[in-house]
Structure 1
Amino acid sequence: MTTTRIAVIADIHHGQDTLTKRGSVALPLLERFVAEVNAGSFDAVIDLGDRISDEAPERDRLLESDVAMCFAKLAATHHHVSGNHDVAFLGLADNEAIFDRPSGSRSLIIGDVRCVFWQPDVSLTRTRGLRLSAGDLDVLVQLLAQDDRPTLLVSHVPLSGHSQTGNYYFEANPGRAAYAETDAIRAAIVDAPCPIVALAGHVHWNTLTTVDGTSHLSLQSLTETFISGDPAEAAGILDIEDGVLRWTVTGREPLSVTLPWPGTKSRWRAPLTSFAASAVA
């Protein structure tokens, strides 16, 4: 098996500066990312969404177009999911037209790696939180069921439901960091015939969480400042070869993780019942 190498970027947030997002430097940082990818050897680039900080329909169209022009300079094929900021005033169809790439749910092969891109509803308001729309979960189940090969599951919002304690945005707002239907999503991943590693953005954090034997990775934002005070300049590299996945994050908050990339799905033993209600100590 040859090595499949994928560059990953998340939460670019091109647009105005805010208290914690340095949107004014997003394009120069993205241009540098593109140049580094072009100077390397990559099978593809994955963009995890939230390419802009939304303002208004026409302004967002211009911001997305700026980002699209940067991606167009890539020598490698690029694949996208859209985040809540990308669709605050624009639709998925608008994003697809601007980037000339699909943004909907789909399954494809990158190098030797099967990838499932899941694009459920990412609409987010102060009162709504994150909720799936009718049919979103069915699409995930159907895509995962199509193949039993190891699968990289890509989404904007993390699917692990991991703790947000310490997160600047989400410690007090956990309903904006995960879907209300997280339990059902986890069940769909457990029931899938394929071993899965899940990859997402949205929470502006480098994390590794294991749920039911599935590894969930999230990537820090390119322009986020809440940890170091300066833009994180985060970019990810996935190297997958011979039963091993290596995940490397560069920038101000570097991370390196090695995970198994098993050929078949393993089933964990059912957890014990409560010790308090059992004779097992």
Structure 2
Amino acid sequence: MLHVRGNHDVPDGPPENPVAETKAVAPARGPGAVKLGDVTFLVLNTSDPALGGVGGSVSTEQLRAFERLLDESTGPVVVLAHHPLDDHSIEGNPLFAPFPSWAFTREREALRSVIERSARVVAVFTGHVHWGSVRLVNTIPYVSVPSFLERWHESGAAPGAYAVATLGPGRRLRVDFRSLEAGMVVSFQHG
């Protein structure tokens, strides 16, 4: 199991270790690489530093290390990060529409350029904005996983929203967005 830490996971500063895994631990401050089967999971620390304690940023050193890890990887790669690397619409998002500069990773264009040059990235998964979305950027799916506890209204139970991703042969990807409260399933398939 992989756990990607975000801007709220370490109250006194950015996470020292962006990925915790039962068998391997990434170097401090990121990026980290974990190989599971033939898939390499590259984890970015997008709180390097956290802008205003909320917004995402990746240091120049981490960007270079990420590019090196992508160059050295073989087989399919999945990128994991807390802050989104795409530019999906946040219109209507009560948390981030008023503060768009805190919604995404500041260096997202440079990161996407590195990702696209590698030709091995199957998908990018992020969170932070508390809602689910999928955006194709130059044929690569950028998936924002919804918050399990976000209610969006002051009353009522948290919906228990989450996503299940399945990677298949030939770069096939299926993502099911689910909710415990409403029992909903919304699916996205690519490849």
TM-score (norm 1): 0.57
**Aligned partner letter, 1:184:** A
Distance in 2, matches of 1:122 and 1:194, equals 27
Contact conserved, 2:18 with 2:43, CA < 8 A, in 1? Answer: no
- For residues 52-201 of structure 1, what are the structure 2 equivalents within 5 Å? 78-89=1-12, 92-93=15-16, 102=25, 104-120=30-46, 121=48, 123-125=50-52, 129-201=55-127
Give me the whole-angstrom Cα distance separating, in 2, the residues matched to 1:209 and 1:95. 24
Rounded to whole Å, the distance in 2 between the matches of 1:84 and 1:101 is 22
Q: Distance in 1 between matches of 2:112 and 2:18?
A: 28
Contact 2:18/2:32 (8 A) holds in 1: no
Per-residue CA deviation, residues 20-42 of structure 1 (Å, 9 max, x unaligned), is: xxxxxxxxxxxxxxxxxxxxxxx
Secondary structure in 2 matching 1:135: helix
Say if 1:84 and 1:122, in contact at 8 Å, map to a contact too.
no
**By percentage of residues, which structure has more helix?**
1
Alignment of 1:196-235 (within 5 A): 196-226=122-152, 229-235=156-162
Judge conservation of contact 1:117–1:155 (CA < 8 Å) in 2.
Answer: yes
Which letter does structure 2 place at the counterpart of 1:178?
A: F
Is 1:258 paired with 2:185? no
Conservation of the 8 A alpha-carbon contact between 2:38 and 2:76: no
Hey, what's the Cα distance between the residues in 2 that align with 1:114 and 1:189? 13
CA-CA distance at 1:206 after TM superposition: 0.8
Match of 2:174 in 1: 246
Structure 1 position 101, deviation (Å): 6.3
Count of residues paired in the alignment? 181
Shift of 1:134: 3.4
Compare CA radii of gyration and give the structure with the larger one.
1
Contact preservation (8 Å) 2:150, 2:158:
yes
Q: Percent identity?
A: 28
RMSD over equivalenced CA pairs, Å: 2.7
Deviates more, 1:249-258 or 1:192-201: 249-258
Q: How many Å apart are 1:113 and its aligned residue?
A: 2.2
Q: Do the aligned partners of residues 122 and 205 (structure 1) sit closer, same or farther apart at CA in structure 2, a change above 3 Å counting? A: farther
Residue identity opposite 1:255 in structure 2: V
Q: Which amino acid aligns with 1:87?
A: V
Distance in 1, Cα, partners of 2:78 & 2:144: 13
* 1:90/1:136 CA distance change after superposition, 3 Å: same
Q: In 2, Cα distance between the equivalents of 1:211 and 1:198?
A: 10
Q: Which amino acid letter does the alignment assign opposite residue 94 of structure 2? A: Y
From the superposition, tell whether residues 132 and 108 of structure 1 become closer, same or farther in structure 2 (CA, over 3 Å). closer
Give the match's secondary structure for 1:220. Answer: coil
Residues of 2 paired with 1:224 and 1:238: CA distance? 20
Q: Determine the C-alpha separation between the residues in 2 that align with 1:148 and 1:112.
A: 8
- State the Cα distance separating 1:125 from its structure 2 match: 1.3
* Higher relative strand content: 2
Preserved contact between residue 2 and residue 19 of structure 2 (Cα < 8 Å): no
CA contact (8 A) 2:32 2:43 kept: yes
Structure 1 residues 229, 210: closer, same or farther in 2, change over 3 A? Answer: farther
